[in-house]
C-alpha cells in the first residue's frame, strides 16, 4: 500500500510540474488534467477516502450550482472509472493482453511501424531491400513496398538515413485482423552483373536487377495485438535463392513452409510495433516514432474506412508472368520487362511510377531478370500515380528485351516485343481490377516505339475475342505493321481512384445529360453500386441527383427515383464503414447544395410514401426513408432557406401547409394498427426527434410542439412503449424543450405519459430517465421560467412516483435513481 501511494505521489508531483510549466498545448493539457484527477480518485478509493465528483475539465462540482441528478450521474461515472482502474490493477498479464487485443480490434484503422536496424548479408554489389506485408494463405502481397537502396559497402546508399530507416504500413483494418496469417517479407534484389563472379577478361553488363534472396517473419501475433514490444530487435533470417530458376515468390513460400532457415548469420534486424489509427493520428500520437521523414507504405487498395480528404488516383500494376519463345537463340532468353506510361501522342509521362515507399518516383521500371528462363514469374508490383487530366489519354507500355551478360552484346540487343493496355475503357470507366492477358506484339524496334503503330490494335486477348477474332487464329497473326507473337504476358491491376470510376452505372448517372433515355435505368442501378464507389464521388453524385430534379421541375417522372437514390446515399453515410463522410455530407448541404425548389418535391414524395404505408411493397423503402429522416429534412430546410433568400419568403403559407400535411400524415400512420407498419412506426419514433433543430428554423416552434404532441398521443396504447419514451427523451434533449412556450405544450403530455406508465409499472428504467432529464433541464438558468413546470410535475407525479417506489423491491437499481430524482 505504502509503495503504491508513494509512486502515485511521485507521478502527481511530476504531472503538476508539467502543468505549471505552461508549455503544453491545450489538448495535451486537458488530457494531463484528466490523468491527474483519475489518479487522485483512484488513490482516494484505495485509501477509503471520499469520492470527489468533477466536471469534464476536472473541476470539482459545486453542489450549490449543480442539480442533484447531475451530481448523481457524475458520481456514477467517477465510480465506474475507479472500479475499472481497480480491475485493471488486479488483472493478470493475460487479461492485459486480451484488453490490448480488444482495443486494437475496436480501432477502425491500424498501422505497423517498422524500424530497419541493419541488413547483414554478403551481397557484394548494390542491392534493393524491398519490405512488404504478405498473406501466405492467399499467396499475395497486401501492401506497397518499403524500398531501401543498399550499397555494396553494407550501408544505405542515402547515408543521411543511417539509423533512420523507418516506415509505417498503414490502412490495416478488421479484414486484416481476420487473416489466418500475415508475414513481413523482405526481398533482396541485387543490382549489378548477370552473375556474381570475378572475370576481368571481358567487360560485364552492369545495373541488372537479379534475384538474391528473401527473409520472412510471421507477424500475425503483432498485428493482432498479442505481442507489443517496440524495443525488442527481431532477427529475420535470410534465405538466398538456390538457383537461377528460383523465383522470389517461390522462395518466399518455401521459407514460410520451412521450420528453420539455414541463414549462416545472415539476415535483417528490425523493431516492430502495432499503432492504432490512420497516418494522421499516429503522427500526432506517436511523434517519437512517426515523423515527416517516416516512409508511408499503404495497403494495396482502399482502406476499410475511406477518409474524405484522401484524394487518390493510383493504379497498382503487378507483373505476373510470361512465356517467351527462345527464337533464334540456343537457350531461353534473359527477359527484362520495362514498364512506362505514355500518352496517345507517344510522349512518356515522367516520374509517375513508384517502386516503393521511401523512394523517389521514376519514369520507367525495369523488372528482375531470371537467367535463361522461358516462363518467368515476377509478381512485382509498382504504383502508377497519374494526374487526373492525363488519365483519359494514357496507356501502360511494356517492352521486352533480352539482356546479355556481356556488355558488348547487350548494347546490340533491341526491344523484341511490346504489350500495352489503356487506362480507360471505351465506355469511359477505368481499367478493370484483376488479371489481364495481354497480347504481345512484334515489329521492328523503331516501329514499336511509335504509339501510333499499336494504339488502334486490341491490347488484351479478351478484347481481341470481343471483336470476333481468335487470339491464336492464323488470320490475325498480322495486324498492320505489328505481328501477334506466340509469346504470352500477364499483368494484374488494382485501381484506387477517388476521381475515376470503374462502375458504368455510376458513370451513367454522373453523365446523365449525354443519354436521358437511360436516366430511369441509371437511377435504379445507382442503388446497386458498391457503397465505396459512391462515397468516393459523393458530391458529384448528389449534384447529379439534384440537377435531375431541378431540370425536370415541371415533371414528377424522376422525383421518386431521385428521392430513393438520396435515401440510399444517406443510408450509406450512416454505415460505420463510411461514417467519416458525415462531415462531407454536412459541408455539402451548407456550402454546395443549391437546389432551391427541392423542398417541394422531397416533401411531396415523402408524404406519398407515408400515406401508402399500409400498401404492399412500400414498407421497406419507407423504413429506409425514416432512418434517413434527419438528412432528408436538412435538405428540405436548406432548400427552403435558399428559396427565401432568393424570393424573400414567397410561398411561405404553401410551404407551412405542405409540412403540416406531412406531419399529419405521419401522425395518422402512428395510429395504424396494421402489423405492416410496426417497424416503420418504431423508426419514426426513433428518428423524428432528429429533425427538430433544423425544422424550427423554418417552422413555428410552438406548432412543431403541437405536432409532436399529436404524434405521441396517436401511438396506440400498449404498443412501442419503450420507443415512445425514448422518443420523448430525445425531444427533451432538443432545442424545442428549452423554450418556455414550447414546454407549456409538451410537458402536460409528457407528465400524462409518465403517470400512465408508472402506474402500470411499464418500462420503469425509461420512465426514470425521462423524468430525470426533464428535472435536470428545469434546474438550468437559461431555459426561461421553470417554477410552474416544476409544480406541474409535483402535482401530477409525486404521489405516483412514491407509490411506484413503495411497490418496488429494495434491491432494485432504480430505487436509488428515483430517490435522487426527487
Which string of DSSP letters, residue by residue, matches 683-743?
A: HHHHHGGGGHHHHTTTS-HHHHHHHHHHHHHTSPTTSSHHHHHHHHHHHHHSGGGGSHHHH
Which CATH number characterizes residue 59's domain? 1.20.1270
Please check the confidence at residue 747 and state whether its pLDDT lies above 90: yes
Residue 144 shares a structural domain with residue 219: yes
Q: How confident is the model at residue 94 (pLDDT cuts 50, 70, 90)?
A: very low
How far is Cα 596 from Cα 656, in angstroms, rounded to an integer? 16
Last residue of a domain, one of 90, 116, 131: 90
Residue 256 shares a structural domain with residue 158: yes
Q: What is the mean pLDDT of residues 642-651?
A: 89
Global pTM value: 0.76
How far is Cα 738 from Cα 290, in angstroms, rounded to an integer? 47
Residue 344 shares a structural domain with residue 489: yes
Residue 186: name the closest of 123, 116, 233 by CA. Answer: 116
**201: helix, strand or coil:** coil
Highest-confidence segment of 32-36, 240-244, 255-259, 718-722: 718-722
Number of separate domains in the chain? 4
Q: How confident is the model at residue 243 (pLDDT cuts 50, 70, 90)?
A: confident
Q: Does 151 fall in a domain?
A: yes
Please check the confidence at residue 394 and state whether its pLDDT lies above 60: yes
Residue pLDDT, tens place only, 770-805:
998 999 899 888 889 999 999 999 999 999 988 888
Residue 288 shares a structural domain with residue 160: yes
Residue pLDDT, tens place only, 137-172:
999 999 999 999 999 888 898 888 888 899 999 999
How far is Cα 781 from Cα 785, in angstroms, rounded to an integer? 8
Please check the confidence at residue 189 and state whether its pLDDT lies above 50: yes
Q: What is the pLDDT of residue 252?
A: 93
How far is Cα 816 from Cα 772, in angstroms, rounded to an integer? 12
Q: Does 688 fall in a domain?
A: no
Residue 294 shares a structural domain with residue 323: no
Tell me what percent of the residues of the chain surpass a pLDDT of 90: 53
How high is the mean pLDDT of the chain?
Answer: 87
Q: Does 660 fall in a domain?
A: no
Residue pLDDT, tens place only, 197-232:
756 546 888 899 999 999 999 999 999 888 777 778
Q: For 42-46, 94-98, 522-526, which range has the lowest pLDDT when averaged over its residues?
A: 94-98
Residue pLDDT, tens place only, 695-731:
999 999 999 999 999 999 999 988 899 999 999 999 9
Q: What is the mean pLDDT of residues 427-439?
A: 92
Q: Does 702 fall in a domain?
A: no
How far is Cα 771 from Cα 763, in angstroms, rounded to an integer? 13
Residue 185 shares a structural domain with residue 252: yes
Residue 389 shares a structural domain with residue 466: yes
Strands 166-172 and 295-298: parallel
Q: What is the mean pLDDT of residues 36-64?
A: 77
Report residue 350: phi and psi, to 5°: -90, 145
Q: Does 373 fall in a domain?
A: yes
Residue 291 shares a structural domain with residue 327: no
Q: What is the pLDDT of residue 688?
A: 96
Q: Does 657 fall in a domain?
A: no
- Determine the structural domain holding residue 32 and report its residue range: 2-90
Q: What is the pLDDT of residue 477?
A: 58
Which CATH number characterizes residue 434's domain? 2.60.40.150
Residue 118 shares a structural domain with residue 226: yes
Bigger pLDDT: 523 or 35?
Answer: 523
Report residue 424: phi and psi, to 5°: -120, 140
Q: Does 117 fall in a domain?
A: yes
Q: What is the pLDDT of residue 91?
A: 56
Please check the confidence at residue 59 and state whether its pLDDT lies above 80: no
Residue 139 shares a structural domain with residue 280: yes
Please check the confidence at residue 746 and state whether its pLDDT lies above 50: yes
Residue 195 shares a structural domain with residue 263: yes
Residue 393 shares a structural domain with residue 255: no
Of all helices (H) and strands (E), which one includes residue 582? helix 582-587
Q: Does 819 fall in a domain?
A: yes
Amino acid at each position: 500500500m505504502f509503495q503504491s501511494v508513494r509512486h502515485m505521489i511521485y507521478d502527481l508531483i511530476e504531472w503538476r510540474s508539467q502543468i505549471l510549466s505552461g508549455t503544453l498545448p491545450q489538448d495535451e493539457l486537458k488530457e494531463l488534467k484528466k490523468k491527474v484527477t483519475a489518479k487522485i480518485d483512484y488513490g482516494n478509493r484505495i485509501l477509503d477516502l471520499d469520492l470527489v465528483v468533477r466536471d469534464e475539465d476536472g473541476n470539482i462540482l459545486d453542489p450549490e450550482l449543480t442539480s442533484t441528478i447531475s451530481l448523481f450521474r457524475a458520481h456514477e461515472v467517477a465510480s465506474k472509472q475507479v472500479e475499472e482502474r481497480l480491475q485493471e490493477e488486479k488483472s493478470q498479464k493475460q487479461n492485459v493482453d486480451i484488453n490490448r487485443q480488444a482495443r486494437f480490434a475496436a480501432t477502425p484503422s491500424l498501422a505497423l511501424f517498422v524500424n530497419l536496424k541493419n541488413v547483414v548479408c554478403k551481397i557484394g554489389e548494390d542491392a534493393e531491400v524491398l519490405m512488404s506485408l504478405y498473406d501466405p494463405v492467399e499467396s499475395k502481397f497486401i501492401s506497397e513496398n518499403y524500398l531501401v537502396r543498399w550499397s555494396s559497402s553494407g550501408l544505405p546508399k542515402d547515408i543521411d538515413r543511417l539509423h533512420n530507416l523507418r516506415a509505417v504500413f498503414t490502412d490495416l483494418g478488421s479484414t486484416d485482423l481476420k487473416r489466418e496469417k500475415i508475414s513481413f517479407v523482405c526481398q533482396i534484389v541485387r543490382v549489378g552483373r548477370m552473375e556474381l563472379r570475378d572475370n576481368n577478361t571481358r567487360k560485364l553488363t552492369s545495373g541488372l536487377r537479379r534475384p538474391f534472396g528473401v527473409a520472412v517473419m510471421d507477424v500475425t501475433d503483432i498485428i493482432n495485438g498479442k505481442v507489443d514490444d517496440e524495443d525488442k530487435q527481431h532477427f529475420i533470417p535470410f534465405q538466398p535463392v538456390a538457383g537461377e530458376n528460383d523465383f522470389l515468390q517461390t522462395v518466399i513460400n518455401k521459407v514460410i513452409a520451412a521450420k528453420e532457415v539455414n541463414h549462416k548469420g545472415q539476415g535483417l534486424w528490425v523493431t516492430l510495433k502495432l499503432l492504432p489509427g490512420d497516418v494522421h493520428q499516429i503522427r500526432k500520437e506517436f511523434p517519437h516514432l512517426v515523423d515527416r521523414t517516416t516512409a508511408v507504405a499503404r495497403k494495396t487498395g482502399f482502406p476499410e474506412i475511406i477518409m474524405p480528404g484522401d484524394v487518390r488516383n493510383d493504379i497498382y500494376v503487378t507483373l505476373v508472368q510470361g512465356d517467351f519463345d527462345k527464337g533464334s537463340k540456343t537457350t531461353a532468353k534473359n527477359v527484362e520487362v520495362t514498364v512506362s506510361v505514355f500518352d496517345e501522342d507517344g510522349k512518356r509521362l515522367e516520374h509517375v511510377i513508384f517502386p516503393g515507399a521511401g523512394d523517389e518516383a521514376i519514369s520507367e521500371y525495369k523488372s528482375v531478370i531470371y537467367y535463361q528462363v522461358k516462363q518467368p514469374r515476377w509478381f512485382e508490383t509498382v504504383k502508377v500515380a497519374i494526374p487526373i487530366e492525363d488519365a483519359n489519354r494514357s496507356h501502360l507500355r511494356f517492352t521486352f528485351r533480352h539482356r546479355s551478360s556481356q556488355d558488348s552484346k547487350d548494347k546490340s540487343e533491341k526491344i523484341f516485343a511490346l504489350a500495352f493496355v489503356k487506362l480507360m475503357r471505351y465506355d469511359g470507366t477505368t481499367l478493370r481490377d484483376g488479371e489481364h492477358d495481354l497480347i504481345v506484339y512484334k515489329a521492328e524496334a523503331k516501329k514499336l516505339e511509335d504509339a501510333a503503330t499499336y494504339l488502334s490494335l486490341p491490347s488484351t486477348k479478351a478484347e481481341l475475342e470481343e471483336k470476333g477474332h481468335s487470339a491464336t487464329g492464323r488470320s490475325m497473326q498480322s495486324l498492320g505493321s505489328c505481328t501477334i507473337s506466340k509469346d504470352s504476358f500477364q499483368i494484374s491491376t488494382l485501381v484506387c481512384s477517388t476521381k475515376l470510376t470503374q462502375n458504368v452505372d455510376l458513370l451513367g448517372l454522373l453523365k446523365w445529360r449525354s443519354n436521358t433515355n437511360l436516366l430511369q435505368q441509371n437511377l435504379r442501378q445507382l442503388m446497386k453500386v458498391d457503397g465505396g464507389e459512391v462515397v468516393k464521388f459523393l458530391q458529384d453524385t448528389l449534384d447529379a441527383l439534384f440537377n435531375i430534379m431541378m431540370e425536370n421541375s415541371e415533371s414528377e417522372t424522376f422525383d421518386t427515383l431521385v428521392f430513393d437514390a438520396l435515401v440510399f446515399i444517406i443510408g450509406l453515410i450512416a454505415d460505420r464503414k463510411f461514417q467519416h463522410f458525415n462531415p462531407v455530407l454536412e459541408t455539402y448541404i451548407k456550402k454546395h447544395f443549391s437546389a432551391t425548389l427541392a423542398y417541394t418535391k422531397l416533401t411531396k414524395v415523402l408524404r406519398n410514401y407515408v400515406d401508402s404505408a399500409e400498401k404492399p411493397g412500400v414498407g421497406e423503402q419507407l423504413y429506409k426513408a425514416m432512418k434517413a429522416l434527419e438528412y432528408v429534412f436538412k435538405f428540405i430546410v436548406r432548400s427552403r432557406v435558399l428559396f427565401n433568400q432568393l424570393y424573400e419568403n414567397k410561398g411561405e403559407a404553401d410551404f407551412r401547409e405542405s409540412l403540416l400535411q406531412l406531419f399529419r400524415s405521419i401522425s395518422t400512420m402512428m395510429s395504424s394498427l396494421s402489423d405492416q407498419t410496426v417497424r416503420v412506426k418504431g423508426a419514426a419514433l426513433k428518428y423524428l426527434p432528429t429533425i427538430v433543430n433544423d425544422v424550427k428554423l423554418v417552422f413555428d416552434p410552438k406548432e412543431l410542439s403541437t405536432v409532436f404532441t399529436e404524434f405521441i398521443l396517436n401511438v396506440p396504447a400498449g404498443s412501442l412503449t419503450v420507443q415512445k419514451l425514448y422518443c420523448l427523451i430525445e425531444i427533451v434533449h432538443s432545442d424545442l424543450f428549452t423554450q418556455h412556450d414550447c414546454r407549456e405544450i409538451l410537458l402536460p403530455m409528457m407528465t400524462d405519459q409518465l403517470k400512465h406508465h408508472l402506474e402500470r409499472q411499464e418500462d420503469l428504467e425509461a420512465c426514470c430517465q425521462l423524468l430525470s432529464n426533464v428535472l435536470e433541464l428545469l434546474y438550468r438558468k437559461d431555459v426561461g421560467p421553470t417554477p410552474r413546470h416544476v409544480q406541474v410535475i409535483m402535482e401530477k407525479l409525486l404521489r405516483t412516483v412514491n407509490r411506484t417506489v413503495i411497490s418496488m423491491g429494495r434491491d432494485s437499481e432504480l430505487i436509488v435513481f428515483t430517490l435522487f430524482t426527487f
